[in-house]
Amino acid sequence: MEPKIATKELVTNESHSGNRMPRDTAVWTALEDVLAANEHGPRHILELWPCYVRRVHMARFLAHYELFKQVIDLPGCVVEMGVYRGPSLLTWAKLMETFCPGDRSRRIFGFDSFKGLQDFNPKDGKPVPDVSKVVGGWSAEKVKAEVEELVRISNLDNFISGHERCKLITGNITLEFLLQWLEENPGLRISLLHLDVDLYEPTLAALKAFYPRVVTGGVVIFDEYGLMPWEGESQAVDEYFASIGERPLIKKFPTFHNPHGYMIKS
């Protein structure tokens, strides 16, 4: 018999996106009522996920799909800065397996300390507890083992089962740490760089380390660019490109809230 899901666990974390307004509470309550009334197990929900996923989360998935389509025929790996619970990282992994199953060289690397927001700089502005813009905000430390297991299962489900398409790299996102990792991986080229670390210092470090490895035509995603109150990320992006004498065209999808900015490297 298929195990049942404890539905209350799915909807009560206020830090989750799509849970900010009274209407959100009503929608979540209606969904959990359906699950409770019909005693659906996890396999049912996962196989029929479009029936249960909310619009806001489907929109983010579609935005990532559109961005991935830009790099399907480019060489290079996907690098994500800021994994949290893994939804974006595992989206990239599954898209790569779907569209490029025969190319085992294109891998997905996810960097995170799993300790949440840490390295605040004056350029990040004031703390904003309502959106978890505080030291330790958006921490996934308690669920790190779960994320690791989900990555393992994703690799197990690959076209070539068990091939390590997706890999987690745990550590503070500092320039020193990233450059050391690059020394150990000198051949890395990047087709898609996803920056979702929210703050000034890790965003700047990631750009300094990895932007030179992004191939021409590659996509760079700035998850909170131009989005208040995450001004530190925007400041880091603007400063970095000014320092190398570039003014990239940063665009966003008009119908999607996140990601809030992306560019194509020319």
For 40-62, the pLDDT digits (tens) are 899 999 999 999 999 999 999 99
The CA distance from 231 to 3, in Å, is 44
Confidence class of residue 6 from pLDDT cuts 50, 70 and 90? very low
User: Quick one: 4 and 76 in the same domain?
Assistant: no
The CA distance from 195 to 217, in Å, is 17
For 146-183, the pLDDT digits (tens) are 999 999 999 999 999 889 999 999 999 999 999 999 99
Q: Give the pLDDT confidence score for residue 17 in this predicted structure.
A: 52
User: Quick one: 152 and 32 in the same domain?
Assistant: no
User: Quick one: 72 and 44 in the same domain?
Assistant: no
- What backbone torsions phi and psi does residue 220 show, to the nearest 5 degrees? -120, 125
User: Quick one: 139 and 70 in the same domain?
Assistant: yes
Confidence class of residue 22 from pLDDT cuts 50, 70 and 90? confident
User: Quick one: 100 and 5 in the same domain?
Assistant: no
Q: How many CA atoms lie within 13 A of 129 on its CB side?
A: 0
For 93-134, the pLDDT digits (tens) are 999 999 999 999 999 999 999 999 999 999 999 999 999 999
User: Quick one: 45 and 121 in the same domain?
Assistant: no
The residue to which tokens 């029929």 are assigned:
48
Domain count, the chain: 2
Confidence class of residue 23 from pLDDT cuts 50, 70 and 90? confident
Q: Give the pLDDT confidence score for residue 20 in this predicted structure.
A: 66
User: Quick one: 224 and 98 in the same domain?
Assistant: yes
Confidence class of residue 15 from pLDDT cuts 50, 70 and 90? very low
Look up the CATH number of the domain holding residue 226: 3.40.50.150
User: Quick one: 62 and 47 in the same domain?
Assistant: no
| Whether the predicted model's global pTM rises above the 0.85 cut | yes
CB-based contact 203:243 (threshold 8 Å): no
CB-based contact 68:95 (threshold 8 Å): yes
Beta-strand relationship, 262-264 and 214-222: antiparallel
For 177-219, the pLDDT digits (tens) are 999 999 999 999 999 999 999 999 999 999 999 999 999 999 9
Model confidence at 8: pLDDT above 70: no
Domain that holds residue 70: 58-264
Q: Give the pLDDT confidence score for residue 207 in this predicted structure.
A: 99
User: Quick one: 185 and 107 in the same domain?
Assistant: yes
